[in-house]
Amino acid sequence: MSESAYDYVIVGGGTAGCVLAARLTEDPDCRVCVIEGGPSDVGDENVLRLRNWINLLETEYDYGYTTTEQPRGNSHIVHSRARVLGGCSSHNTLISFLPFPEDLDEWVAKGCAGWDPVTILPYRHRLKNHIVPVGEEDQNPIARDFVTAAAEALGVPVIEDFNRAPFPEGAGFFSLAYDPATNKRSSASVAYLHPVMDRPNLTLKLLTWAYRLEPDPAGRLTRVAVRYEDGSTGTVHAERELLLCAGAVDTPRLLLHSGVGPADELRALGIDVRADLPGVGENLLDHPESVIVWETREPLPPNSAMDSDAGLFVRRDPGRPRPDLMFHFYQVPFTVNTERLGYPAVPHGVCMTPNVPRARSTGRMWLRSADPAVHPALDFRYFTDPEGHDERTLVDGLRMAREVAATAPLRDWLFREVAPGLNLVTDQELSDYGRRAAHTVYHPAGTCRMGAADDPWAVVDPELRLRGLEGVRVVDASVFPTLPSVNPMVTVLLAAERAADLLTGRPGPEPDGSER
């Protein structure tokens, strides 16, 4: 086995890992190694062309984690996790929202000092990604008519730029991290790493799989056991700190295989316990959503950024500042789940996907085996919250979607509702359908949550340091104590920029007065 040493070793060349690699190597004397299980995205048009995102799912670019049986949801969901440089920012739709200030207030209330909106939101000015509303030439006419109909039917404003200021509700085209002229991604790898890949102090170990963390002679957990593309193995040593950026599935998986997690469960698998941290793998969060499908009267115009370019936010509780229901509007018939339920495919159509922004059902992940090659178990426990909040959100969303579809000018495009079909009208019928047709928008989070010293379920402290062991920090969506109400990629970018400052001692950006 070979061993190489660097100042920092980043496990996971994804959204957060790319930010950290770029920021830390700004110091020419700081040696940084990025370990990434997938290939490079440089020059790979399959990855770089944003509109091709759906063709990356369940391919060689995808680890393809499955879910356990979901008694109240869909048990057939594949949770795509990206296997490519840039991580999920090279794999997803790049919908880019700043978190709401109240989302960050919730983190502070859960013991995450230093993660308040006044501290975190100014980091948006440091982001290198090119984030803009969907370009005018990409605005499909049916998506424009969806926005108009949603505003008319539900009495919400049309929003030109969702990132201009916090909003309680509204309809509009999303902001995306992309170049409208070329449809090329402005992913974390494109924005942060591609311009600096020739830095002599940056080493990328691609197609390299990290499967266990090991201690150094001083007992600090700073060594990573890896397997290279040719099957050989080795270790990579961080002389300062090891930074886990492998995401909400693979970061806790790596910790568990390294003996960090719930002690009794680890011992039952024959894994030696290094630190009894019961929160590793707990608090598994997601944004579940269902789907309602219409066949259109004719094929749609071909222009689009990524076929889900517009959306809608609704605030059902007018006493609260944030929306509590979201919709993506798909300009393609997304029928992977409805066909399984017996509904027909259609040659051309559209969908609305009612989404639960702050789901109250939480799950957990755990190891099935001591063999790191065996996928862990993911149990999201969809729609199990005792108050029925998540289920109610879907039912309300399906009803509102029908209101929008019945409103001009969108209604003039639509031929018939394919799924669930107008014969399903009661709350129970819509709930049964909505939960069985539910899907994910690939936002797992929370499995190594951040918290205060007296929180027994916290895995890292507010400076992202692993509790109970020295030498490790976690920087990815697994540290989120609660899931932001919106698509979380930008929140991961902000967290990584903040982490870079925590590591280097650089002061954060000054507040600019627009955090509320």
Active site residues: 443
Q: Give the list of residues 6+ apart from residue 245 with CB closer than 8 angstroms, or none.
A: 10, 11, 12, 13, 14, 15, 16, 17, 20, 251, 474, 475, 476, 496
Assigned token pair, 154: 């539900």
Distances in whole angstroms, Cα of residue 1 to Cα of each of 217, 228, 252, 415, 508: 17, 11, 25, 63, 41
Identify whether the C-beta of residue 478 lies closer than 8 Å to the C-beta of residue 495. Answer: no
- Residue 452: count other Cβ atoms within 10 Å of its Cβ: 12
User: Is 460 annotated as belonging to a binding site?
Assistant: no
Distances in whole angstroms, Cα of residue 510 to Cα of each of 123, 124, 350, 505: 9, 11, 44, 15
Return the exposure string of 226-255: e unless at least 16 CB atoms fall within 10 Å of the residue's CB, then b: bbeeeeeeebbbbebbbbbbbbbbbbbbbb
User: In 168-283, which ranges are E strands?
Assistant: 170-173, 175-179, 184-185, 202-205, 209-214, 223-227, 233-244, 260-261, 275-276
- CA-atom Rg of the chain in angstroms: 22
Burial grade of 11 (CB within 10 A; 0-12, 13-18, 19 or more) = buried
Residues of each annotated binding site:
84
Residues of each annotated binding site for FAD:
84
